[in-house]
């Protein structure tokens, strides 16, 4: 979360965005390396994400899987997790100098500019750890568009993260209690998180999930990419 919010009238709508597969594509190389290396440093074991379907997952759950792969039992995994959350973020910040503007998904830059122009608030709901997510936004040239976010270390599920983001937006009067809220993502977990919170689900087929997989979750709106998303659909 971010505690600094500008003092202005509540926005008439809020758009919450996932990062990987929604705002950015193929921006995960250094991210995965940071998770893997944090486990190696903590355990001395070489681990891999090669056989783990990372899309739609929270970083904390990926760290748990990697620690299990390294042979740690459940109680030790939970005890180690806070250390690894910090280490993985430090490793990403020290090793992620790549410009990510070329990974921005179609329609994202125009849509974000339109949201600002029409007074629609924006936030992040992502499985990334917070320092990693914000750094990706900086490297992609998108940081200025987002006021706040809910990240992997803030909750156990994506639905819980969406709930936290909604609470933060209302608590700080970013939006009113009656504002239209949408969660935009590329994975069935994003659609489920929106449904669990009673907000609009907007699915974009820019990630690894197929249109059929997204349709099976019955999103309110499904687009091939964000060039197809009309501003009116967020109001």
Residue-averaged pLDDT of the chain: 94
Cα distances (angstroms) measured from residue 64 to each of 18, 60, 73, 149: 21, 6, 10, 22
pLDDT-based confidence at residue 193 (cuts at 50, 70, 90): very high
Q: What is the spatial distance between Cα 93 and Cα 191, in angstroms, rounded to a whole number?
A: 30
The structure tokens listed for 74 are: 């459940």
Please tell me the predicted confidence (pLDDT) of residue 212. Answer: 98
Percent of the chain with pLDDT over 70: 97
- Name which CATH class applies to 11-26+100-234: alpha beta
pLDDT-based confidence at residue 3 (cuts at 50, 70, 90): very low
pLDDT at 1 over 90: no
- For residue range 74-115, list pLDDT tens digits in order: 899 999 999 999 999 999 999 867 899 999 999 999 999 999
pTM: 0.94
pLDDT at 6 over 70: no
Percent of the chain with pLDDT over 90: 89
- For residue range 32-72, list pLDDT tens digits in order: 999 999 999 999 999 999 988 899 999 999 999 999 999 99
The structure tokens listed for 105 are: 């998904």
Q: Rg of the chain's alpha carbons, rounded to an integer?
A: 17
Q: What is the spatial distance between Cα 129 and Cα 51, in angstroms, rounded to a whole number?
A: 21
The structure tokens listed for 11 are: 């926005």
- For residue range 155-173, list pLDDT tens digits in order: 999 999 999 999 999 999 9
pLDDT at 5 over 60: no
pLDDT at 223 over 90: yes
Q: What is the spatial distance between Cα 197 and Cα 145, in angstroms, rounded to a whole number?
A: 23
**In 96-178, alpha helices (H):** 108-117, 130-139, 158-171
Q: What is the spatial distance between Cα 226 and Cα 71, in angstroms, rounded to a whole number?
A: 42
């Amino acid at each position: 979360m971010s505690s600094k919010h500008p003092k202005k009238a509540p926005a008439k709508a809020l758009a919450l965005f996932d990062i990987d597969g929604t705002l950015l594509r193929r921006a995960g190389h250094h991210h995965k390396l940071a998770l893997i290396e944090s486990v190696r440093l903590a355990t001395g074991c070489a681990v891999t994400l090669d056989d783990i379907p990372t899309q739609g997952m929270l970083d904390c759950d990926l760290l748990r899987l990697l620690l299990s792969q390294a042979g740690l039992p459940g109680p030790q995994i939970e005890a180690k997790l806070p250390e690894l959350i910090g280490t993985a973020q430090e490793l990403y910040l020290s090793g992620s100098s790549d410009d990510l503007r070329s990974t921005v998904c179609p329609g994202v830059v125009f849509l974000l500019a339109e949201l600002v122009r029409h007074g629609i608030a924006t936030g992040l709901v992502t499985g990334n750890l917070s320092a990693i997510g914000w750094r990706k936004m900086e490297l992609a040239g998108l940081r200025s568009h987002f006021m706040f976010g809910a990240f992997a270390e803030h909750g156990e599920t994506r639905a819980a993260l969406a709930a936290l983001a909604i609470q933060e937006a209302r608590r700080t009067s970013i939006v009113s209690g009656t504002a239209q809220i949408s969660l935009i993502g590329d994975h069935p977990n994003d659609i489920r998180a929106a449904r669990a919170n009673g907000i609009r689900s907007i699915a974009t087929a820019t990630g690894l999930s197929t249109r059929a997989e997204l349709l099976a979750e019955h999103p309110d709106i499904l687009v091939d990419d964000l060039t197809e998303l009309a501003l009116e659909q967020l109001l």
